[in-house]
A and B are shown apart, each in its own frame.
Chain A
């Protein structure tokens, strides 16, 4: 395990961007009917995949601030 203690910190920032990017792509791999079937209506704001994208953008902003 000694090698792991020498990994540079900037790798963490790169991995974070990649991870959140994968989550963003993964969101839209889920069809909307999986969670919209019994929604009170089919209004666009109820598509929670867009909520997820806003969240991810906020996270990327936070990590760039504290990198």
Chain B
């Protein structure tokens, strides 16, 4: 590696650790640790949302997906994100903000029952640990490709750096480092696009070469019988179920909006993030297409991005882009471990032990952050045996996103859904998803079918189970007036 690259990497790693330690001085209790003392401005939150999301969906995996299937991979950033982000910004974030909750499971717990809160938190936490493991593996893969580091060394070094600033500084440190990481990501991504297009002989030649050898790689929608991205699955499963569940109910994403300094900052941050999201395919999809055009000699698609970084960018810029990849993946890990620590501390331990002491929660939260980090590091080496990382993450998501979205939608927009119906629907919906998945059905269809089932089951079982009193629903139901108006009588 060129000394200039090494210098840039060293400066970056020192900067994030120092930033984390400086921000740790602001942390006095669980409110500061998990919600940054509700002090975050919209621009920082918006950048942090993108940092968390880009890595969550797989910087490396998405490039591999684009290498396989083309621009259709970008549906995860466009129709599979933008409508849901607008919905989150205008409806769900104001709702959570007014409810004054720390987490989405806490909202579900207040809207339905403590049992739903614990179960939702347990499901989300289990998924998060897998996702953390996937991110560690992706980082280790990049380090192996670029620096010839063994997998275990990449995992240990990354875990140490992320652990230092996440455990000490909490959400504030994570959000500010995420923002820095996103600026680096976009800088590096812009360099890849500019140099890659230049190497390919210009944008027109790039497109012609790509389409000549891969005729469907510039089509946003692929045929309905496509094995990975059939268009009905993209619209029904991704745009209508997976995406709203992720953007309106994903704890790692929404936690930073709950740490905003005002409700307007919270909503504006998500809308700002949606603008950045529109450009994200340039960072994560384009490299996969570029690897195709340049006939990259790679063993499997997930190596497309590391190959492009290594072979397209000059010294200095390659160090910057290398940091961008690492930063993107780090920002997933730091957000996921903080969100998971919050859910385990407050939504599982707090409910089961009936304890909610902000100072004690801070201590427990920091220990849990460390334990979750180590759990993700331990799982990481096994991810490589499971196929494409992007598909793996999305398959896991589709198991429970449908039922969770149904609980959120009917819980937020109607008074009809009852606590018992919520619990029954969540348990049976996840079981149905697992059954459908085991039958070999595409994960996008699994998500849509489980959502349809959960909507029907929740609505019907609510007819013969006991509803919450109106007084308990105040502030938990969306109303155009901005507050939930208690109803005088229930039909």
Known: A12-B221, A39-B264, A51-B271. A30 touches B91 (CB 8 A): yes
Across the interface, do B480 and A34 meet the contact criterion of CB distance under 8 Å?
Answer: yes
Across the interface, do B232 and A34 meet the contact criterion of CB distance under 8 Å?
Answer: no
Q: Which of A1-39 contact B (CB under 8 A)?
A: 1, 4-9, 11-13, 15-16, 19-20, 23, 26-27, 29-31, 33-39
Q: Does B82 contact A (CB under 8 A)?
A: yes
Contact indicator per residue, chain B 257-281, by CB within 8 Å of chain A (1) or not (0): 0000011100110011011001000
Contact indicator per residue, chain B 57-86, by CB within 8 Å of chain A (1) or not (0): 000000000000001001000110011001
Identify the closest chain B residue to A36 (Cβ). Answer: B264
Across the interface, do B220 and A52 meet the contact criterion of CB distance under 8 Å?
Answer: no
Interface segment, one of B223-231, B300-308, B321-329, B452-460: B223-231
Interface residue tally on A, bucketed by range = 35 or more
C-alpha gap A27/B272 in the complex (Å): 15
Query: Which one of A9, A23, A52 lies within 8 Å of B231 (CB-CB)?
Result: A9
Query: Which one of B71, B79, B87, B481 lies within 8 Å of A59 (CB-CB)?
Result: B79
Complex contacts, A67 vs chain B, CB 8 Å = 219-221
Complex contacts, B264 vs chain A, CB 8 Å = 35-40, 46
Q: Does B296 contact A (CB under 8 A)?
A: no
Complex contacts, A16 vs chain B, CB 8 Å = 79, 235
Across the interface, do B79 and A34 meet the contact criterion of CB distance under 8 Å?
Answer: no
C-alpha gap A15/B239 in the complex (Å): 11
Q: Which of B232-246 contact A (CB under 8 A)?
A: 232, 234-235, 239
Across the interface, do A58 and B278 meet the contact criterion of CB distance under 8 Å?
Answer: yes
Q: Does B222 contact A (CB under 8 A)?
A: yes
C-alpha gap A9/B225 in the complex (Å): 10
C-alpha gap A45/B86 in the complex (Å): 16
C-alpha gap A13/B481 in the complex (Å): 35
Complex contacts, A63 vs chain B, CB 8 Å = 78-79, 220
C-alpha gap A18/B285 in the complex (Å): 26
Across the interface, do B262 and A38 meet the contact criterion of CB distance under 8 Å?
Answer: yes
Across the interface, do A7 and B89 meet the contact criterion of CB distance under 8 Å?
Answer: no
Complex contacts, A38 vs chain B, CB 8 Å = 262-264
C-alpha gap A41/B230 in the complex (Å): 46
Complex contacts, A58 vs chain B, CB 8 Å = 278
Known: A35-B90, A38-B263. A12 touches B235 (CB 8 A): yes
Across the interface, do B278 and A59 meet the contact criterion of CB distance under 8 Å?
Answer: yes
C-alpha gap A56/B217 in the complex (Å): 23
Across the interface, do B89 and A52 meet the contact criterion of CB distance under 8 Å?
Answer: yes
Identify the closest chain A residue to B72 (Cβ). Answer: A66
Tell me the A residues contacting B by CB distance below 8 Å. Answer: 1, 4-9, 11-13, 15-16, 19-20, 23, 26-27, 29-31, 33-40, 46, 48-49, 51-52, 55-56, 58-59, 62-63, 66-67
- 8 A-B pairs (CB sep. < 8 Å): A12-B220, A12-B231, A35-B89, A48-B90, A48-B268, A52-B274, A59-B278, A66-B218
